[in-house]
């Protein structure tokens, strides 16, 4: 695909701000999406193991992780919207072509997610306590479908990196193929790499969970040590699996990636994986640690940076696609609205959700929110009301012009 055609596929409305702003936001929000995805996959896998296990520790952890999984799946989906918007803004020719080529899968993605969500809740409502019944299988179905949703995302991301093959996929032997039913490109090593990262990230989550439970007076110390041991094993063992997947991904990279495996970015990704492997040695406190999870989040961010550098190497280096050539129609209102929404609305709402779950988890019996958390909730609600009011105010103002 020549560069003029690629540029012609861009939205003619241009960008409301500099492309670098969207690029940074894309990387940041994608890293957040993946942290939620990793916790979601890891906690679902632990909940599933617990549902089938006879061991009391496993059953208890499985039940607790089901609560984590329910929240993480919502966060993964909600946060996933942000990189979806940014990728559409600065990589629109690639993302839309990829979606159209596999349109049925892109739409089917939503159905897959709906069923995965439903299946997880089915297990939650029907079988959480005495998880010996058939609802355990619906949790297994949920995990499989969540992985399938991730695979669809992987296919869409991979096809977007192959402009040179689009015509062959769209018109094989000169005949148009407009069904959108095909899956044209994937790399199992790359997909496995992103999925395997769930093991060390969940291991770090368990170390944080161990620390969180340390405040409870009546906790069983044997259970707490067991959680910490499991978390460490997942971080180190899972980290090695991630390293192998990364090496396999690099060995099977497409030609247009050039010498990316030897680039600084690739070393950065390797460094991030080593950090995950070594984190249990860095945070050795027997009562667990929140630092391990912060380290894991940092490692995922470094991986996100390297992944973006690879996209730039392929689309910029091999195809000559430059983000800097976007037309910019600077729009103060939408820039300010985005930042204020992100910080003001999202900030308060997320802080409130975290604060209330944090307090509730530490309370025995019936939980009543503390005055501080209550105030935070009122701020979050007020921010939402102000947001809705300004939305209609500016909407009517524009219509009246
Ligand atoms: C809940 C199940 C999900 C899983 C397991 C999952 C997993 C993944 C994985 C593994 C990737 C990396 C693909 C690659 O680069 O090879 C990815 C990318 C991405 N995901 Fe998700 N995802 C899920 C849901 C979602 C949802 C609901 C959204 C949007 C609302 C979303 C938006 C994205 C976006 C925008 C990308 C990056 C595309 C790009 O940069 O080209 N994901 N996801």
Q: Specify whether the CB–CB gap between 200 and 239 falls below 8 A.
A: yes
- Give yes or no for residue 153 CB within 6 A of ligand 1: yes
- Helices (DSSP H) in 160-263: which residue ranges? 166-170, 188-196, 198-213, 221-251
Instruction: Specify which residues 15 forms β-bridges with.
Output: 328
Residue 57 has pLDDT above 70, yes or no: yes
Query: Which of 150, 158, 197 to probe ligand 1 with, by most ligand atoms within 8 A of CB?
Result: 150
Q: Specify whether the CB–CB gap between 199 and 241 falls below 8 A.
A: yes
Backbone angles phi, psi at 328, to 5 degrees: -110, 125
Same domain, 212 and 120: yes
Same domain, 156 and 295: yes
Residue 66 has pLDDT above 80, yes or no: yes
Of 330, 358, 388, the domain-final residue: 330
Q: Determine the pLDDT at residue 128.
A: 60
- Evaluate the CA torsion angle 125, 35, 236, 291 in order and state its sign: negative
Query: Which of 25, 30, 42, 80 to probe ligand 1 with, by most ligand atoms within 8 A of CB?
Result: 80
Same domain, 340 and 324: no
Ligand 1 atom 17: residue of nearest CA? 153
pLDDT digits (tens, 9 = 90+) for 6-17: 999 999 999 999
Ligand 1: atom nearest CA of 77 is 27
- Evaluate the CA torsion angle 55, 61, 67, 73 in order and state its sign: negative
Same domain, 205 and 353: no
- Give yes or no for residue 194 CB within 6 A of ligand 1: yes
Ligand 1: atom nearest CA of 109 is 27
Count of domains for the chain: 2
> In angstroms, how far is the first alpha carbon of the chain from the final one?
42
Q: Determine the pLDDT at residue 130.
A: 53
- Give yes or no for residue 87 CB within 6 A of ligand 1: yes
Rounded distance from Cα 287 to ligand 1 centre (Å): 34
Same domain, 123 and 248: yes
Neighbours of 218 (CB within 10 A): 5
Q: Determine the pLDDT at residue 224.
A: 96
Query: Nearest CA to 140 among 35, 241, 52, 38?
Result: 52
Q: Determine the pLDDT at residue 4.
A: 95
What is the average pLDDT value for the chain, to the nearest integer?
94
- Give yes or no for residue 155 CB within 6 A of ligand 1: no
- Give yes or no for residue 160 CB within 6 A of ligand 1: yes
Same domain, 115 and 188: yes
Residue 168 has pLDDT above 90, yes or no: yes
Q: Specify whether the CB–CB gap between 77 and 39 falls below 8 A.
A: no
Upper half-sphere CA count for residue 18 (Cβ side, 13 Å): 3
Q: Determine the pLDDT at residue 87.
A: 97
Ligand 1: atom nearest CA of 160 is 41
Q: Determine the pLDDT at residue 116.
A: 98
Segment holding 330, helix H or strand E? none
Same domain, 319 and 346: no
Same domain, 181 and 321: yes
Query: Nearest CA to 325 among 315, 335, 333, 340?
Result: 315
Same domain, 257 and 300: yes
Reported as a pLDDT band with limits 50, 70 and 90, residue 204 is: very high
pLDDT digits (tens, 9 = 90+) for 348-369: 988 998 899 888 877 777 889 9
Same domain, 324 and 351: no
Query: Nearest CA to 343 among 299, 388, 387?
Result: 387
Higher-pLDDT residue of 190 and 345 is: 190
Distance CA 202, CA 40 (A): 9
Q: Determine the pLDDT at residue 89.
A: 95
Ligand 1: atom nearest CA of 41 is 5
Ligand 1 atom 22: residue of nearest CA? 150
Residue ranges making up the domain that contains 390:
332-401
Same domain, 200 and 256: yes
Rounded distance from Cα 335 to ligand 1 centre (Å): 25
Give per-residue burial for 107-122: e unless 16+ CB within 10 Å, then b: ebbeebbebbbebbeb
- Give yes or no for residue 109 CB within 6 A of ligand 1: no
Q: Which residues contact 370 (CB under 8 A, 6 or more apart)?
A: 359
pLDDT digits (tens, 9 = 90+) for 381-395: 999 999 999 999 999
Q: Determine the pLDDT at residue 358.
A: 86
Residue 269 has pLDDT above 90, yes or no: yes
Mean pLDDT of the region 15-44 = 97
Of 309, 330, 351, the domain-final residue: 330
Reported as a pLDDT band with limits 50, 70 and 90, residue 261 is: very high
Token pair of 112 as six digits: 């897959």
Same domain, 384 and 264: no
Of 330, 357, 377, the domain-final residue: 330
Q: Determine the pLDDT at residue 361.
A: 79
- pTM (2 decimals)? 0.93
What does the angle CA 253 – CA 254 – CA 256 come to, to the nearest 5 degrees?
A: 125
Mean pLDDT of the region 110-122 = 97
Window from 6-15, 18-27, 232-241, 355-364 with minimum mean pLDDT: 355-364
- Evaluate the CA torsion angle 85, 87, 89, 95 in order and state its sign: negative
The residue assigned the tokens 């690029």 is: 23
């Amino acid at each position: 695909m020549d560069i003029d055609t690629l540029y012609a596929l861009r939205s003619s409305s241009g960008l409301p701000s500099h492309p670098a702003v969207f690029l940074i936001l894309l990387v940041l929000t994608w890293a957040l999406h993946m942290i939620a995805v990793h916790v979601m996959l890891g906690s679902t896998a632990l909940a599933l193991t617990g549902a089938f296990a006879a061991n009391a520790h496993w059953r208890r952890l499985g039940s607790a992780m089901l609560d984590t999984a329910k929240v993480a799946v919502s966060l993964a989906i909600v946060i996933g919207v942000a990189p979806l918007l940014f990728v559409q803004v600065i990589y629109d020719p690639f993302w839309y072509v990829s979606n159209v080529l596999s349109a049925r899968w892109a739409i089917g993605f939503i159905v897959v997610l709906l069923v995965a969500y439903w299946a997880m809740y089915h297990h939650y409502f029907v079988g959480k306590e005495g998880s010996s019944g058939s609802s355990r299988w619906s949790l297994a179905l949920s995990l499989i479908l969540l992985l399938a949703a991730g695979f669809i995302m992987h296919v869409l991301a991979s096809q977007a990196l192959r402009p040179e093959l689009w015509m062959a996929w769209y018109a094989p032997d000169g005949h148009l193929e407009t069904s959108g039913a095909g899956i044209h490109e994937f790399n199992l090593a790359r997909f496995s790499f992103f999925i395997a990262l769930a093991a060390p990230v969940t291991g770090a989550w368990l170390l944080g969970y161990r620390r969180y439970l340390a405040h409870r007076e009546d906790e069983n110390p044997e259970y707490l040590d067991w959680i910490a041991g499991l978390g460490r094993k997942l971080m180190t063992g899972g980290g090695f699996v991630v390293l192998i997947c990364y090496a396999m991904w690099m060995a099977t990279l497409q030609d247009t990636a050039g010498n990316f495996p030897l680039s600084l970015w690739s070393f950065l990704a390797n460094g991030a994986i080593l950090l995950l492997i070594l984190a249990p040695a860095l945070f050795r406190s027997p009562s667990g640690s929140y630092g391990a999870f912060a380290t894991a989040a940092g490692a995922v961010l470094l991986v996100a940076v390297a992944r973006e550098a690879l996209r730039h190497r392929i689309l910029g280096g091999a195809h000559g696609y430059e983000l800097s050539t976007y037309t910019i129609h600077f729009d103060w209102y939408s820039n300010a609205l985005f930042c204020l929404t992100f910080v003001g609305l999202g900030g308060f709402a997320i802080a409130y959700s975290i604060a209330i779950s944090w307090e509730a988890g530490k309370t025995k019996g019936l939980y009543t929110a503390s005055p501080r958390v209550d105030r935070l909730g009122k701020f979050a609600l007020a921010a939402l009301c102000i947001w809705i009011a300004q939305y209609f105010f500016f909407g009517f103002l524009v219509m009246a012009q």
